[in-house]
Structure 1
Amino acid sequence: MPDESATLALGAALWPQLPVTGCVYLSGDLGAGKTTLVRGLLRAAGHDGAVRSPTYTLIEPYELVGRQVFHLDLYRLGDPEELEFIGLRELLGQGLLLVEWPAQGRGVLPAPDWTIDLAADGQGRQATLAIQ
């Protein structure tokens, strides 16, 4: 993907295919475009407000028409058990979890339904998608 608009377009294209409930792991280095991809997904779902990385809040909920999305950024998570304290179990089955830095939640997060890996390459970004 050559630029940010292509990452947004990928999110828009993927949105109709995502499960209503479940878990999507978003992996990639800092600046790889994970939050930009989430912005593309949410815009395709009709969300016209701001989409920020929940780096400090850990979870950002979005109420959409007919479904809920929970955007998680686990980059600053000290211990996967912290997910229990912030109410992860209550979110399961309530909507779609979009999880940045899923390795930080290993052992506590549910298994992913989808995994999207973003990586910088010489021409922009590359996305690799796996559906479990």
Structure 2
Amino acid sequence: MQLRWADEAAAAQCARQLAQALGEHPDAVIEMHGPLGAGKTTFVRHLLRALGVAGRIKSPSYAVMEPYALPSGGTASHFDFYRFNDPREWEDAGFRDVFAAPGLKVCEWPEKAAGVLPRADLQLFLDIADDDSRSVRARGKAALVRALA
């Protein structure tokens, strides 16, 4: 599916729709692909807000993972693998246990952990258009892709 986000409000609306499709106890792996500045972290922040996360939502650029408790009692983990130089760093960091447990896992720069991440339930590919809008290609589980429309 191909989408266009004219502005951040459109991305936020899409995040709210995805949150509704994920439900009260989300258990999925979402990959966010795109160049620096494409809006990956912004979309994840809107998604976490839509899932009920209160307080500060930090970028995991330096920590690699930021965990969040969901109001439903579930968990969400936001990953940024940008600084990974070797996919084995994923294993060394102990992320196998995080991914084996239930909960939402949203991964930026998943290609830096290629071969060790589980299969994604949803992949979003963001590109910056000349007019500063975002072109978004979505693929994955049909119910999640449909929710974005």
TM over 0.5: yes
One-letter amino acid matched to 2:138 = L
Mapping 1:85-124, distance limit 5 Å? 85-92=92-99, 93-123=101-131, 124=133
Structure 1 runs (4+) deviating above 2 angstroms are none
Q: Deviation at 1:52?
A: 2.2
Q: Deviation at 1:122?
A: 2.4
Match of 1:8 in 2: 12
Paired-residue identity, %: 38
Q: Deviation at 1:102?
A: 0.4
SS of structure 2 residue aligned to 1:37: helix
CA distances 1:78-98 after superposition (whole Å, capped 9, x unpaired): 211111121111112331110
Q: Deviation at 1:21?
A: 1.5
**Separation in 2 of the partners of 1:21 and 1:10?**
18
**Separation in 1 of the partners of 2:22 and 2:84?**
26
Structure 2 residues not aligned, in runs of 5+: 142-149
| Deviates most, 20-29 or 46-55 | 46-55
Q: Deviation at 1:18?
A: 2.7
SS of structure 2 residue aligned to 1:117: strand
Match of 2:50 in 1: 44
Match of 2:139 in 1: 130
Q: Deviation at 1:7?
A: 1.5
Which of 32, 37, 41 is the matching residue for 1:31? 37
One-letter amino acid matched to 1:54 = P
**Separation in 1 of the partners of 2:63 and 2:29?**
19
Paired residue total: 132
Contact 1:35 1:52 in 2 (8 A): no
**Separation in 2 of the partners of 1:97 and 1:8?**
18
**Separation in 2 of the partners of 1:99 and 1:117?**
12
**Separation in 1 of the partners of 2:120 and 2:69?**
21
SS of structure 2 residue aligned to 1:128: strand
Match of 1:58 in 2: 64
SS of structure 2 residue aligned to 1:91: helix
Contact 1:62 1:70 in 2 (8 A): yes
TM-score by length of 1: 0.93
Match of 1:84 in 2: 91
